[in-house]
């Protein structure tokens, strides 16, 4: 008899891989995001942060992503000059919208682990190669780091970059995204302290 699949996960019975990790902090994170007023609306400051993140890393897509129990919300989004567009079929130019389910992409792994994740070629990792974003959007590489809440210590979300080609992020890319995630975490803390979010 096999063990039950944890709540709020996806499971591929053909490969026996847990594709979306169990997220025990989700209810507390949802409450904290509501308290902060994050994860429901786009924020111009976060869009600007995402644009700078894309330019710094050389990625065509970047996001400031907050994750609840069922979905991901890109409060900051840069999509190579195409903000606000919806997820399209693989025959069209790869595009991304403001929301995704928890089963799409790699940020849920970063949030649960509370550690940065670098995938220079997602196809090199069977656990990640089967993610829907590979076939639906054509994502081939990913790099993300958690946004750690200074008050609670939990990961509220991520900053991340993706590319439709393989991308050699390297150690420099990892150091950069971790540093920028810390900067944005500090900024969120400052905004809360000042009562501006």
* Structural domains present in the chain: 17-194 (3.30.450.40)
Q: How confident is the model at residue 136 (pLDDT cuts 50, 70, 90)?
A: confident
Cα three-residue angle 94-16-174, rounded to 5 degrees: 50
Computed over every residue of the chain, the mean pLDDT equals 85
| d(C-alpha 184, C-alpha 153), whole Å | 14
What Å distances lie between residue 180 and 147, 157, 159, 176, CA to CA?
9, 13, 8, 6
User: How much is the pTM?
Assistant: 0.83
pLDDT in tens, 50-97: 999 999 999 999 999 999 998 999 999 999 855 443 433 344 444 457
| pLDDT band for position 7 (cuts 50, 70, 90) | very low
Residue pointed to by tokens 């389910």:
101
């Amino acid at each position: 008899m096999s063990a039950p699949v944890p709540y709020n996960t996806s499971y591929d019975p053909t490969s026996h891989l847990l594709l979306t990790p169990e997220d025990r902090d989700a209810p507390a994170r949802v409450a904290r995001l509501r308290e902060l007023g994050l994860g429901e609306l786009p924020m111009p400051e976060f869009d600007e942060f995402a644009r700078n993140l894309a330019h710094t890393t050389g990625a065509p897509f970047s996001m400031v992503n907050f994750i609840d129990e069922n979905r991901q919300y890109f409060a900051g989004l840069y999509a190579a000059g195409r903000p606000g567009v919806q997820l399209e079929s693989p025959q069209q130019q790869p595009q991304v919208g403001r929301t995704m389910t928890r089963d799409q992409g790699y940020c849920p792994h970063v949030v649960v682990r509370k550690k940065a994740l670098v995938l220079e070629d997602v196809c090199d990792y069977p656990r990640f190669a089967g993610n829907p974003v590979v076939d639906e959007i054509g994502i081939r590489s990913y790099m993300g780091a958690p946004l750690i809440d200074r008050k609670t210590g939990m990961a509220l979300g991520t900053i991340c970059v993706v590319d439709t080609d393989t991308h050699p992020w390297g150690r420099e890319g990892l150091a950069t995204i971790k540093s920028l995630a810390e900067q944005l975490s500090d900024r969120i803390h400052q905004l809360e302290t000042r009562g501006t979010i």
